[in-house]
Structures are given as structure tokens and as C-alpha cells.
Amino acid sequence: MSRSINGYIELNTGAEQWLALIDLSLFIDLSTNDQDTYTVLFGDQPHLNWRKLGFQPLFEKSTFPDNVSKEVGLETGIYDENTYQRGQIINGYYYPYFSDGYVIGWSEIKAINWRETNLEGETRGEFLTGNWQTIFDLMEVLAKNRKAKNIRLVVWMT
């Protein structure tokens, strides 16, 4: 069974209202070296253990906040497709399709030490593919125009 990376670059438009700006599926392909970068960042690849690469994942999975964009909420099942409210209540129980993933602000990404080395002498930056670099470059441009606190990356696996 193949897995795919899903996500968006989101913009806070004010009052904690987030808008999905850029769909990561336009850039990310797990059949390429993008999987190495994903593993170095998140460690969530069963077929490519982060220990094999020698880097502790940078980000931890967490429950998605209530204020994800409408697109993220609908794609993950966090929001009910009819009401756009969090969760689907069926027979009194909440059934999200996905309830956790990664929500990382631009400031956190900017602070990554890409020169950190593993036991083989490889740097974390060697695993940064062009596709992920493009995503980070886009986030940087947005952060310069809209402030770092208003730009974030929301990612989950299917």
C-alpha cells in the first residue's frame, strides 16, 4: 500500500482564520527523494526508518488545532462536510478521518540546523530535495510579506 503526503501552506488572514494557499501535492512525490526529506523532518515513513538516516525527526505529530483552513478540515475529515464544524458526530461519537499530523510555523522551519551531521558525516541539508526547498522558499517569501507568525505548514500522511 502506497502512502502519500498531503498538506498546505496556510496563511493567517486575521483573527486566527487560516486560508490554504498552496497545495503540497503540487510539489511532493514519495516515489522520489522527497521521502528522505520527509523522513528527516517528520520521521513518519515506515519503509524508511529515520534511524537509518541518522537524524532525529525535527517535528512531532500533534492533534490538529481547531483553526485549520477549510480545505485541510474537509480533506482530513476534521470538519463535517455539511456544517464545516469540527468533527462528525455519529451516534454520539466523533469520527475524524485524520486527527493528527504536523502544523509547523515558518519560524520553526527557519530555525532548522541544516548543517547538523549524522554518524556518516552527512548533513541534514543533504536530504533536502529541490521540491521541499521550493516549499520553504515559498513560505519565506510569504513570511516576508505577511509576517512569520502568519505562515505555517500543515502536513499529514494517507
**What percent of the chain has pLDDT above 70?**
72
* Average confidence (pLDDT) over 141-155: 92
Q: What is the chain's mean pLDDT, rounded?
A: 77
pLDDT of 95:
47
Amino acid identity at 111: A
In the chain, where are the structural domains located?
5-59+101-157
Closest C-alpha among 52, 28, 26, 22 to residue 40: 52
State the Cα–Cα distance between residues 9 and 135, nearest whole angstrom: 8
The C-alpha cell 530555525 sits at 111
Who wins on pLDDT, 104 or 2?
A: 104
Who wins on pLDDT, 49 or 109?
A: 109
pLDDT of 143:
95
Give every CB contact of residue 120 below 8 A, 6+ residues apart in sequence.
54
Provide the whole-model pTM.
0.79
pLDDT of 79:
66
The yes-or-no verdict on residue 44 having pLDDT over 80 is no
Give pLDDT tens digits for 59-112. 777 777 778 888 887 777 776 665 555 555 444 544 444 556 788 899 999 998
Give pLDDT tens digits for 122-137. 888 888 877 888 999 9
Closest C-alpha among 54, 25, 56, 19 to residue 41: 56
Closest C-alpha among 86, 93, 106 to residue 11: 106
